[in-house]
Amino acid sequence: MSLQRPGAGSSTGSRPSNVRTVYDEDAKIPFATVPSTIDLCHVEAGDVDRLISLIRSAGLGELRLVAVDTISRALAGGNENAPDDMGALVSSLDRIRDELRCHVLAVHHLGKDASKGSRGHTLLHCAVDTEILIEFDEQSGVRTATITKQRDGETGASIPFRLRQVELGLNLDGDPVTSCIVGPTGSRASGALGGWLINSRLDRGFSNAPTAGGSIR
């Protein structure tokens, strides 16, 4: 389940199409998108209750992952530098995780000074179990996902990858609708991620486009 408000000109159907482009259509991977902003900061808005009910009624089977893209949008006007607002958002994420019994991934961005980590109050960094930093080397075109925090586990492991553009079809004007999937670089993953990639038999998926990983920064 992806909570993502599309940008201008984007297609709400792109994400499920990406999955079916990468994998066989017959795989029937359950996937759904909520293409609107969800307020996870102001409890009185009632969005968390409605979201949990919506997901339960979506017929996705055993839910594994809810992706929130992005923290800034989910704050719905809340102050990311304020402990009260960031704490309320973290509580909403915890509730989604606990009531739906799934992993919750939230996409966030670095601040102007990347050495200081993610934007906003440090409460978020303290609350997450796993933090994965995505970095981009403009010269090589390679992106790297690196574990920068792992509660009770190893940090520093990384996976290099490239984004590959795929065409999903045509829009009403006859122009191509495109999106990106993750592809290999030819380099091996390092550390714990390398072993995890092999042990979980995701090396096959990674040769096409892995779905593992995400960013909390």
- Could you tell me the residue range of the domain that residue 216 belongs to? 130-217
Mean pLDDT of the chain: 79
Nearest residue to 100 via CA among 112, 108, 92, 88: 92
Helix (H) or strand (E) segment spanning residue 105: strand 103-107
The per-residue pLDDT for range 142-192, each reduced to its tens digit, is 999 999 999 988 899 999 999 988 887 888 999 988 888 888 887 666 665
Cα 181 from Cα 172, distance rounded (Å) = 23
DSSP result, 33-95:
EE-S----S-GGG-HHHHHHHHHHTS--SS--EEEEE-HHHHTTT--TT-HHHHHHHHHHHHH
DSSP result, 145-177:
EEEEEETTS----EEEEEEEEEEEEE-TTSPEE
Dihedral sign (CA 30, 35, 41, 46)? negative
- pLDDT recorded at residue 205: 31
Of 102, 128, 154, which one is at a domain's C-terminal end?
A: 128
- pLDDT recorded at residue 88: 97
Is residue 173 located within the same domain as residue 75? no
Is residue 74 located within the same domain as residue 112? yes
- pLDDT recorded at residue 167: 83
Is residue 161 located within the same domain as residue 214? yes
Angle, helices 83-100 vs 47-56, to 10°: value is 20
Number of domain units in the chain: 2
Of 96, 128, 160, which one is at a domain's C-terminal end?
A: 128
Q: Which residue has the tokens 């553009």?
A: 165
- pLDDT recorded at residue 5: 61
- pLDDT recorded at residue 85: 97
Is residue 100 located within the same domain as residue 151? no
- pLDDT recorded at residue 8: 41
Of 59, 93, 128, which one is at a domain's C-terminal end?
A: 128
Nearest residue to 176 via CA among 6, 23, 14: 14
- pLDDT recorded at residue 184: 83
Cα 29 from Cα 20, distance rounded (Å) = 8
Is residue 84 located within the same domain as residue 188? no
- pLDDT recorded at residue 196: 41
- pLDDT recorded at residue 7: 52
Q: Which residues pair with 160 in a beta bridge?
A: 144
| Average pLDDT, 10 consecutive residues per value, the chain (217 residues) | 61 52 60 87 95 91 90 94 96 95 93 85 92 93 93 90 86 87 76 46 30 33
Is residue 29 located within the same domain as residue 105? yes
Cα 6 from Cα 164, distance rounded (Å) = 19
Radius of gyration of the chain (CA): 18
Is residue 139 located within the same domain as residue 203? yes
